[in-house]
Amino acid sequence: MLGVIKSLRDTIIRYGLSSQSITEDALIGTKTVKVPMSRKFFDGETIVIRNDTIGEIRVIDQVVDETTILLTENFVRTWTTTEGSVIQKAPGGQYIKRIYLGDPDVIPDFPSITITADNRDEEWWTIGSTTVKWNCTVTCLFEDDGLENSYEGMLELTKTVEDALWANRKPVFGKITESDLTVDLLGGANSMTVSSTDKMLPLHQAIIEDYAYTQYIEIRSVIDSNNITFSQNVVEDYLVSRGAKIIVPSRWTMWTKPGGTTYGYVHKGTLLKASQISYFAQEEIVRLNTRIGATDL
């Protein structure tokens, strides 16, 4: 279960706390932002465009393409790349302060999120494998100021988490290894060069990913300490400049999803607006043990 809730936290961090530097100046009187990759942003989300001292709160009207985001309102100043301007998610106009594993009695800052493990269930799937079902709860906490803003903020934070969980429906619960690409991998290729092939083996299922794209592959052969081939040709370009890497998971999810959501209040030193999202994950586990455990001695 620990690997499941850690993976759940990582997904929320990657999407809910998403921040990217702008790649072109965002001019006063316009409402378009250019970023390295827009796939972690969603229509209707609140973002802040800022430098180190000031910022503007805006709402995403449309994610236009892979690098372009259209906002609902124009900027009141020009935001430049030279001043280090970034856009960052801010549900309800506030940054997510903390994400906890477990349910601490005292939480100092809000909005915050807690992730708790509820239960697991396991049943036979085939002669040599089982399916394990994991159930968790994600709680979104927003300080209650007695105004509509806090309620709207809690609902927006909840939607941000739900979108994140739907976007990453096959999270990685554990890794055998991962390695950065050292040479760009171009569409149509079926071999790659990486920093290390240690622990990679033929027939390993793997994931190639950069900030723009993700593809599942099967390793065909390990040529040497830096080069491998794989069974399928890649569809897109995977670039070193976009953090391209290969991941070999130790566990594979069959499917995951956020289930029902309830809304209400909780008390943690102060009254909080809260929502609870039920999260379900299922994976297959091979139970063909080569070693038989002791039965009587």
53-81 per-position pLDDT tens digit? 999 999 999 999 889 999 999 999 999 99
Per-domain boundaries in the chain: 18-93, 98-171+253-286, 175-249
Q: What is the pTM of this model?
A: 0.80
pLDDT range class, residue 297, cuts 50, 70, 90: low
The rounded distance, in Å, linking the Cα atoms of 280 and 164 is 14
**20: closest CA among 47, 42, 55, 46?**
47
The rounded distance, in Å, linking the Cα atoms of 187 and 173 is 28
171-219 per-position pLDDT tens digit? 888 889 999 999 999 999 999 999 999 999 999 999 999 888 899 999 9
DSSP 79: B
CATH number listed for the domain at residues 175-249? 2.40.30
Query: In CATH, what class is 98-171+253-286?
Result: alpha beta
Q: Are 273 and 150 in contact (CB under 8 A)?
A: yes
> Hey, is 154 helix, strand or coil?
helix
Distances in Å between the Cα of 103 and the Cα atoms of 66, 115, 150, 161, 248 are 37, 7, 21, 17, 32
Distant-in-sequence, close-in-space partners of 135: CB < 8 Å, separation ≥ 6: 117, 118, 119, 120, 121, 278, 279, 280
Examine domains 18-93 and 175-249 and report if their fold is the same. Answer: yes
Fold adopted by 18-93:
Elongation Factor Tu (Ef-tu); domain 3 (2.40.30)
The rounded distance, in Å, linking the Cα atoms of 175 and 170 is 13
